[in-house]
Amino acid sequence: MKNFQEEKITPDQLREKIKSFYKEDEWHFITINGTDTGKSIEVKYFFAKYGKKEPVYALSLEIDYDQTLPSITDLIPSAWIAEEELYDLLGVKVEKAKGGIFLEPDSPKAPLRKSFQPKEK
């Protein structure tokens, strides 16, 4: 049973949508999650209200493997870490993300992509 409230948007709408509701003293930004669906990357931005027993609110969008995602770090400064993780672990190009924080330079690239299969020892 799905237990969070989800709103589907396009990558172009992301920044305007966040600007329209996000207030630092009201909303807690949880993180960004990426999932490789096999055809594209599904990206969800999770938020929760401080002190309220309300379902988590998720903004959900899909991007192609080679598409660039707009950064939200000027709107939510702590989001840089989630954007860097999306870049390193799923190979999602995010504006401003440099990569190399979650993985070392000699690590496999984008290990959470479906195309990546770990080597058997």
Among 13, 80, 93, 96, binds other proteins (CB under 8 A): 80
To other proteins, the closest distance from the beta carbon of 29 in angstroms equals 5
Q: Is 121 in the site for other proteins (CB under 8 A)?
A: no
Rounded Cα distance between 113 and 59, Å, is: 21
Choose the stretch contacting other proteins; rule: CB under 8 A; options: 12-20, 31-39, 63-71. Answer: 31-39
Count the neighbouring beta carbons within 10 Å of the beta carbon of residue 73: 17
106 vs 63: CA distance, rounded Å: 27
27, 45 in Cβ contact below 8 A?
Answer: no
Separation CA 24–CA 27 (nearest Å): 6
Q: Is 75 in the site for other proteins (CB under 8 A)?
A: no
Q: Which residues bind other proteins (CB under 8 A)?
A: 1-4, 24-25, 28-31, 33, 35, 44, 46, 48-53, 56, 76-78, 80-81, 85, 88-89, 100-104, 107, 111-112, 116-118
